[in-house]
């Protein structure tokens, strides 16, 4: 069983991994070649040790690399960018063989750096920190160059003596990098549109199958996590994918199916609103009635009356 080692500060990370001491206590950039050259620390750790970081991590990998993320192992191809959220468990894959990293970098920044800034207020809006590694951002050469330029500016600031401008400039360049990543992810959703349409179809199939098997009676409405697990995506990535493809997130797809099913029951049975609500997985009938009216503009009974008379 893997042992999870909690690393709360950047200084603790550099000490644990035998890296150069940080020039700034809250921001660190590492060249992946240097990172791979400091692997002796693993010999002193428990077999298959994993790490839970107390700060945000962004990895650019170019070359045959591997990373253990949660319980899964992922191989990186060229030009892939992955994001690790606070507390997410990561580590080097136990079965990883020695491999050459042509280039790459890791960016780490502590939440204390951005806590009082505008970036701190909106950091949760960058959904890609909650994506799984296999949902990494695939970069073009031009996109790589843009992000590498952002990293060079961050490194430049880290080389300077800390002054009254340091924190603002570091945060600005980190935010610039993250905003470019938002743009590039949106491009990726569009360029992979044909592939993503398969996921839309699969989600719709899984919603229907859930109700066909009457799982809602015991388990309630299907959750976004349930559907994401069914299609092997993270909940946030699936929601963003559906939003880009259909204009509706996962929850809206579930609700649309519920309303569609409710309409059929209302017009083809004499079941009461409460009976229909419980049958559809609602614990409280008034939640069902409120959602139905929000979607159709009518209460369930009004909808029945108008369409049967």
For the domain with range 4-137, which CATH number is right: 2.130.10, 2.60.450, 2.60.120, 1.10.287? 2.60.120
The 3-state DSSP class for residue 277 equals: helix
Token digits for 49?
A: 């040790």
pLDDT number for residue 51: 75
Q: 194-308: what CATH class?
A: mainly alpha
As a whole number, mean pLDDT of residues 173-184 equals 96
The 3-state DSSP class for residue 97 equals: coil
Q: How many CA atoms lie within 13 A of 85 on its CB side?
A: 15
pLDDT number for residue 53: 86
pLDDT digits (tens, 9 = 90+) for 212-227: 999 999 999 999 999 9
As a whole number, mean pLDDT of residues 17-35 equals 87
Q: Which residues contact 151 (CB under 8 A, 6 or more apart)?
A: 29, 60, 105, 107, 177
Q: What is the model's pTM?
A: 0.73
Worst-scoring range by mean pLDDT, 145-149, 162-166, 173-177? 162-166
pLDDT digits (tens, 9 = 90+) for 226-236: 999 999 999 99
Per-domain boundaries in the chain: 4-137, 194-308
pLDDT digits (tens, 9 = 90+) for 234-278: 999 999 999 988 899 999 999 999 999 999 999 999 999 999 999
């Amino acid at each position: 069983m893997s042992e999870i080692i909690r690393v709360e500060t950047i200084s603790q990370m550099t000490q644990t991994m035998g890296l150069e001491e940080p020039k700034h206590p809250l921001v660190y950039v590492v060249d992946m070649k240097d990172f791979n050259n400091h692997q002796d620390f693993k010999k002193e750790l428990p077999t298959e040790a994993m790490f839970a970081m107390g700060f945000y991590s962004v990895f650019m990998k170019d070359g045959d690399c591997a990373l253990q993320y949660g319980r899964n192992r992922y191989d990186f191809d060229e030009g892939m960018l992955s994001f690790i959220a606070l507390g997410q468990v990561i580590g080097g894959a136990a079965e990883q063989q020695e491999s050459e990293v042509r280039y790459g970098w890791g960016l780490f920044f502590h939440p204390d750096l951005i806590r009082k800034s505008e970036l701190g207020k909106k950091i949760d809006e960058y959904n890609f920190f909650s994506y799984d590694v296999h949902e990494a951002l695939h970069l073009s050469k031009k996109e790589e160059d843009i992000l590498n330029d952002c990293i060079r500016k961050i490194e430049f600031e880290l080389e300077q003596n800390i002054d009254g401008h340091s924190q603002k400039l570091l945060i600005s360049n980190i935010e610039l990098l993250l905003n470019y990543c938002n743009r590039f992810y949106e491009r990726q959703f569009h360029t992979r549109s044909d592939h993503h349409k398969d996921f839309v179809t699969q989600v719709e199939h899984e919603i229907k199958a859930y109700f066909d098997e009457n799982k809602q009676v015991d388990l309630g409405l299907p959750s976004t996590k349930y559907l994401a697990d069914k299609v092997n995506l993270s909940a946030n990535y699936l929601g963003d994918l559906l939003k880009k493809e259909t204009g509706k997130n996962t929850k809206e797809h579930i609700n649309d199916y519920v309303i569609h099913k409710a309409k059929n029951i209302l017009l083809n049975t004499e079941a009461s609103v409460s009976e229909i609500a419980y049958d559809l997985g609602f614990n409280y009938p008034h939640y069902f009635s409120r959602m139905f009216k929000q979607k159709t503009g009518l209460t369930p009974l009004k909808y029945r009356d108008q369409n049967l008379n």
